[in-house]
Structure 1
């Protein structure tokens, strides 16, 4: 399948670029930005509008956060106006909301009035834990992709949404790749065990238990909210910084073991994570992944050959000790995990093709219902 939509009329072999309006985060290393870049690699014109341009996310002081909460209705209204104005200006064929929890129902109605097919890609555990707008806007999309298998049941039971399907998270080939490490990178990121992610109590307890059992092991913890940790033996491990973009890849490559625990169940969700972004990103970086055992992880990677799995704290400690002592086996698993990620279509480019295929199906259905001839539409490839 071609990466770009081919014209059914005009010069043979020409590719037509879709006009896509995209609502999502654009920070370096975000899953959302990976989709934007993959769509552009596929030859499409993507206008991306980020809510952070209207609602500052970097304000740290309590006073500024309080001011943002007070101003939020007006900030969201500005964001809404920008989305509506851009949609009316562009007349996009496709609107993609990546999570898009600040998009309002009014903006959704206005965007769809331009004739755009609206698709949401939803990467999180719960549809109910990220503000009051999502439960109102998700039913307005023509299709919702969820990266959680249990998300399909949750969508229908909580929001009545049935026009939905599952696909797994993905790695970004521009970011999650083999990166050469210099001496400064090694000094900054080298560790026996690394964890990159937001604080959760269970992750703190897991890493604290490992540090107690293996006091000479070098542990490094990167991510937000780790000021909440109370374990004294993790004070030197917590870096109080995040790693983004290629720095994430360097961190994974420099660590002998990369921990991949799953997020707990949230309000409105029937399950916690069973697979997540790091399930695919870590192997793609060429790192050794020690992943929490779930019913789904072995659908994607073979235990003991392409990843390692742990079931509980004792098992985690035992596996960490084993693989720290078996360098050759650890390297072999990391190499096989990367090869599996590359050959099995786990990249964001493959996910984008699924989004574009769904767009074509919905667009064709809308043309038929409106009486527009398939041959009259320059974006038709004959997909029904």
Structure 2
């Protein structure tokens, strides 16, 4: 299928992994990268952050990457089967209308790994565009009925996924283990509930490595010598190596997004790393508790299980290996997750 793919295609972006998956599945892909000039993972000065915030809230966007104009141009040329838009908060709805008018045979797909009914993820442009897509794809089960209620023509749930060329076990050097590793690792951003859980573990002496940005974490190194802070984003193989260097990887869920699972829920076990994550029905459906992953519902249970599995390495490694096998056997890779989407598009060509 001839496909135009619109999304943030910088290294570390799961949108790039989905593009690779579509290519693996046989799609001829023309890519339009929406990554801002100052980079998704680069440092952004205050002025740029302010301008971006104003743009999202007022619907007044600078088309940094000329996405709308590129789509106008491409809609005049060739014949396209799919226009795939990853989130697309900045895309002008009029561009979607024009593209569909010029390419009536093309299927317009909107994919999002985020809770798009969390106000911080929405823009006026995205909301106005909801009924213009032929299909919305979401990794959030609760977004499916919300999308239909908001006017979506159709909506499809797909589970989170991993990229096999990146999320896999790594043989690390002793230097890498020393630099990146700890007993427990968390990679992500600060959030109140997460910070409370991390401090609960730290105050009880567990060794923790934190990768990411968290203002609350800055004081941990002074308070807890057992906590190491690695500020900034870590992506791709470095992300996977940071997981593999530690014994237990924490799987926190973002409350603001109403998460029941995240990409980390799949990426951690895919790396062959023991995952200790928040207990939800979706997590329990993905991995057997006590056999393929472990889960917790309170800080006390989190600490008790972390302490137990640190003291029982054989059990921990057995569960970690089983979790990776579950990812492979159950088809949690990006390509396998996206196969049903392409099947849907092929069977709904009219």
TM-score by length of 1: 0.82
**5 Å matches for 1:154-173?**
154-157=146-149, 159-161=150-152, 163-173=154-164
Cα RMSD of the aligned pairs, angstroms, is 2.1
Measured after TM superposition, the shift of residue 90 of structure 1 is: 4.2
CA separation in 1, counterparts of 2:179 and 2:328?
28
271, 275, 293: which is aligned to 1:285?
A: 271
Counterpart in the other structure of 2:112: 122
Measured after TM superposition, the shift of residue 179 of structure 1 is: 1.8
**5 Å matches for 1:251-262?**
251-262=242-253
Please give the secondary structure, in 2, of the residue aligned with 1:346.
coil
**Which digits, 9 at most, give the CA deviation of each residue in 1:308-328, with x for residues without a partner?**
011111111111111111100
**5 Å matches for 1:42-121?**
42-53=25-36, 56-57=39-40, 58-66=42-50, 73-75=61-63, 78-113=66-101, 114-115=103-104, 116-121=106-111
Please give the secondary structure, in 1, of the residue aligned with 2:128.
helix
Of 284-293 and 35-44, more deviation after overlay is shown by 35-44
Counterpart in the other structure of 2:209: 220
CA separation in 1, counterparts of 2:18 and 2:274?
25
Please give the secondary structure, in 2, of the residue aligned with 1:199.
coil
Please give the secondary structure, in 2, of the residue aligned with 1:246.
helix
Counterpart in the other structure of 2:288: 302
CA separation in 1, counterparts of 2:218 and 2:234?
22
Measured after TM superposition, the shift of residue 294 of structure 1 is: 0.7
Measured after TM superposition, the shift of residue 277 of structure 1 is: 0.7
CA separation in 2, counterparts of 1:145 and 1:66?
30
Of 344-353 and 38-47, more deviation after overlay is shown by 38-47
CA separation in 2, counterparts of 1:240 and 1:256?
20
341, 344, 347: which is aligned to 1:355?
A: 341
CA separation in 1, counterparts of 2:209 and 2:261?
22
Counterpart in the other structure of 2:241: 250
**5 Å matches for 1:121-270?**
121-127=111-117, 128-130=119-121, 131-157=123-149, 159-161=150-152, 163-214=154-205, 217-224=206-213, 226-229=214-217, 231-232=219-220, 233=223, 236-266=227-257
Change (3 A) 1:219 1:55: closer
CA separation in 1, counterparts of 2:224 and 2:16?
32
Of 87-96 and 337-346, more deviation after overlay is shown by 87-96
Change (3 A) 1:37 1:77: closer
Measured after TM superposition, the shift of residue 162 of structure 1 is: 5.0
Measured after TM superposition, the shift of residue 19 of structure 1 is: 1.2
Of 72-81 and 316-325, more deviation after overlay is shown by 72-81
Is it true that 1:35 corresponds to 2:26 in the alignment? no
Measured after TM superposition, the shift of residue 129 of structure 1 is: 2.8
CA separation in 2, counterparts of 1:332 and 1:56?
39
CA separation in 2, counterparts of 1:107 and 1:76?
15
Q: Which runs of 5+ in 2 are unaligned?
A: none
**Which digits, 9 at most, give the CA deviation of each residue in 1:67-102, with x for residues without a partner?**
556786333693311222233334321111122222
TM-score by length of 2: 0.90
Please give the secondary structure, in 2, of the residue aligned with 1:95.
strand
> Number of residue pairs matched?
338
CA separation in 1, counterparts of 2:166 and 2:342?
22
Please give the secondary structure, in 1, of the residue aligned with 2:281.
coil
CA separation in 2, counterparts of 1:68 and 1:206?
32
CA separation in 1, counterparts of 2:188 and 2:176?
19
